[in-house]
């Protein structure tokens, strides 16, 4: 295998290698999106006077990053402890509509030797009071999906940068509004897409950008997680908020964990873009079947009707003619997978290949391999390990959930803010990756017709630039 240069061959060659730009002529800003006849169009709202792109805009340097957290359930409470152990980061305020959760989280931080954060809670407007503080640089939002858009927007209007759990919003006009609010307020808003910082995902990105797969032609990712037991638990999701989404519409609610790494490897918004989406959905069977077998007739879930298809698949055409298949299924019995697969003219990678393992992976690339048989990924993962994992992989293993990728996301976000660097994931990536939520609804309502995906960059997607494939850099020393 070739030795990896510090800067990827893709950037040295102006992107020609991985993006197929030599053949397609991209990089010259003339590439036209492939629009399908009959596709439902996606209007592009105009920028207001004074509103400017946030692409390549660095964070201002922060000596310490002061975090305010909204939503202290399963995810938010664990991530709060994660923020508190990143060098140069401190949690100054915590908020939950349930005041006891703010108290519990504050107590836990104090028990681990951290300063006590200010507590907010008691009403669904408590977060707005927290946002009035002037000692918060970054707001982290881990509330149910319906609150992400209003809370993310309010945080930017209050002058804070924002990191929001998946999805940042669930409607197209809300996604545009978050882009526009970011451009007007000059605050960054990013999706907390931890899986994009997964070790295999970042190795896949590096292999793609080094040209190992030749011209990338297709990718496949998703979120296939049997959540039935948790969805029907009375103690896990607060007020059953996540199950209730399955009573509202058929949508690809949460495919971003598998879609985003494939999109990053394809340079989406950095030389290519997601242009058209078509959705299919199977019948909603899984949740009703589970309820029938395991839930007593007195359970409140018996008043509900589940309409979300078990397997929702989005086929996404990119402007440069690639295809992404993004899947979502949380209501069928099956082992966990984010699929995480990428293929091109010289080879293919598939994650989740082992029988028991979630981190196995298999590969087949020419000229290294032949004979139509898969090879183990281990040696490639070592060779193409991203600098972030080489640098902080041991810390991540000790500190973080989800195999360490939560810590890598948090460490990197704090590093970018402290060092005054450009975000790896910006508001345009976040909006594009979340757009299949409403667009799958739209496509399915139109009988599976193709729908155009908005260009949230307003034309800047043609320019090659770095993202998750960042250059190695140091965390500034803590004073
Ligand atoms: N990236 C990941 O790996 C990952 C993993 C799990 C969950 N998540 C995401 O995290 C978010 C939270 O999920 P969860 O499992 O922690 O749910 P949860 O029900 O355990 O927690 C949600 C919390 O938000 C609070 N809340 C509700 N409305 C509020 C409001 N208006 N203001 C303040 N607090 C409010 C609730 O009281 C609760 O404590 C979801 O968006 C979910 O998709 C992401």
Q: Residue 11 in 3-state DSSP?
A: helix
Task: Give domain 199-392+426-462's CATH number out of 3.30.360.10, 3.20.20.140, 3.40.50.1370, 3.40.50.2000.
Answer: 3.30.360.10
- The pTM for the full model equals 0.94
pLDDT above 70 (res 217) = yes
Residues 283-330: tens digit of each pLDDT: 999 999 999 999 999 999 999 999 999 999 999 999 999 999 999 999
> Measured from the CB, is residue 76 less than 6 Å from ligand 1?
yes
337 C-alpha vs ligand 1 centroid, how far in Å? 22
> Measured from the CB, is residue 232 less than 6 Å from ligand 1?
no
Give 131-181 as a DSSP string: HT-SS-SEEEE-S-GGGHHHHHHHHHHTT-EEEEPSPS-SSHHHHHHHHHH
304 C-alpha vs ligand 1 centroid, how far in Å? 21
Containing 318, the helix (H) or strand (E) segment is: strand 312-318
pLDDT of 8 reads 56
Q: Residue 5 in 3-state DSSP?
A: coil
Residue 145 alpha carbon, nearest atom of ligand 1? 41
> Measured from the CB, is residue 108 less than 6 Å from ligand 1?
no
State the fold for domain 65-192.
Rossmann fold (3.40.50)
Residues 51-94: tens digit of each pLDDT: 999 999 999 999 999 999 999 999 999 999 999 999 999 999 99
Q: Residue 392 in 3-state DSSP?
A: helix
Strands 161-164 and 138-141 come out as parallel
Give 251-287 as a DSSP string: --TT-HHHHHHHHHHTTBTTTB-EEEEEEEE----HH
Closest residue by CA, ligand 1 atom 44: 165
Residues 126-180: tens digit of each pLDDT: 999 999 999 999 999 999 999 999 999 999 999 999 999 999 999 999 999 999 9
Every domain of the chain and the residues it spans: 65-192, 199-392+426-462
77 C-alpha vs ligand 1 centroid, how far in Å? 9
96 C-alpha vs ligand 1 centroid, how far in Å? 10
Residue 121 alpha carbon, nearest atom of ligand 1? 33
141 C-alpha vs ligand 1 centroid, how far in Å? 8
For ligand 1, mutation pick of 103, 148, 237, 238 (most atoms within 8 Å of CB)? 238
Rg (CA), the chain: 22
Closest residue by CA, ligand 1 atom 31: 124
> Measured from the CB, is residue 72 less than 6 Å from ligand 1?
yes
| Nearest of 428, 412, 407, 405 to residue 340 by alpha carbon | 405
pLDDT above 80 (res 403) = yes
Most confidently modeled range among 42-46, 402-406, 434-438: 434-438
pLDDT of 3 reads 36
pLDDT above 60 (res 5) = no
> Measured from the CB, is residue 357 less than 6 Å from ligand 1?
no
């Amino acid at each position: 295998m070739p030795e990896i240069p510090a800067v990827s061959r893709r950037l040295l060659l102006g992107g020609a290698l991985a993006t197929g730009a030599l053949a397609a002529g991209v990089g010259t800003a003339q590439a036209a999106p492939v629009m399908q006849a009959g596709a439902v169009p996606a209007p592009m709202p105009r920028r207001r006077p004074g509103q400017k792109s946030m692409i390549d805009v660095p964070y201002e340097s922060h000596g310490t990053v002061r975090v305010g957290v909204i939503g202290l359930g399963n995810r938010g409470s664990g991530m709060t402890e994660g923020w508190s152990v990143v060098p140069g980061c401190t949690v100054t305020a915590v908020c939950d509509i349930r005041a006891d959760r703010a108290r519990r989280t504050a107590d836990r931080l104090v028990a681990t030797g951290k300063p006590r954060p200010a507590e907010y809670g008691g009403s669904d407007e408590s977060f707005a009071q927290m946002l009035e503080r002037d000692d918060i640089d970054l707001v982290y939002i881990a509330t149910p999906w319906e609150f992400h858009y209003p809370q993310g927007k309010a945080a930017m209007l209050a002058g804070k940068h924002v990191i929001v759990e998946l999805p940042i919003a669930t409607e197209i006009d809300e996604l545009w509004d978050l882009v526009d609010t970011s451009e007007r307020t000059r605050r960054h808003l990013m999706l907390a897409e931890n899986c994009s910082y997964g070790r295999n995902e970042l190795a896949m990105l590096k292999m793609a950008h080094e040209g190992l797969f030749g011209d990338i032609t297709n990718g496949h990712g998703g979120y296939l997680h049997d959540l039935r037991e948790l969805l029907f638990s009375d103690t896990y999701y607060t007020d059953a908020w996540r199950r209730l989404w399955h009573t509202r519409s058929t949508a690809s609610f949460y495919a971003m964990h598998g879609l985003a790494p494939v999109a990053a490897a394809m340079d989406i918004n950095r030389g290519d873009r997601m242009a058209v989406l078509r959705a299919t959905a199977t019948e909603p069977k899984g949740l009703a079947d589970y309820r029938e077998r395991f839930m007593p007739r007195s359970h409140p879930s018996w008043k509900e009707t589940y309409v979300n298809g078990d397997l929702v698949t989005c086929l996404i055409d990119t402007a440069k003619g690639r295809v992404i298949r993004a899947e979502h299924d949380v209501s069928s019995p099956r082992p966990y997978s984010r699929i995480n697969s990428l293929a091109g003219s010289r080879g293919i990678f598939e994650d989740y290949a082992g029988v028991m393992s979630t981190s196995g992976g298999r590969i087949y690339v020419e000229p290294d391999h032949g004979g139509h048989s898969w090879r183990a990924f281990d040696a490639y993962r070592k060779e193409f390990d991203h600098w972030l994992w080489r640098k902080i992989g041991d810390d991540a293993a000790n500190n973080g959930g989800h195999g360490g990728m939560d810590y890598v996301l948090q460490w990197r976000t704090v590093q970018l803010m402290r060092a005054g660097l450009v975000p790896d994931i910006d508001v345009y990536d976040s909006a594009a990756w979340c757009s299949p939520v409403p667009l799958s609804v739209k496509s399915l309502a139109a009988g599976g017709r193709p729908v155009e995906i908005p260009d949230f960059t307003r034309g800047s997607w043609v320019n090659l630039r770095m993202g998750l494939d960042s250059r190695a850099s140091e965390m500034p020393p803590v004073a």
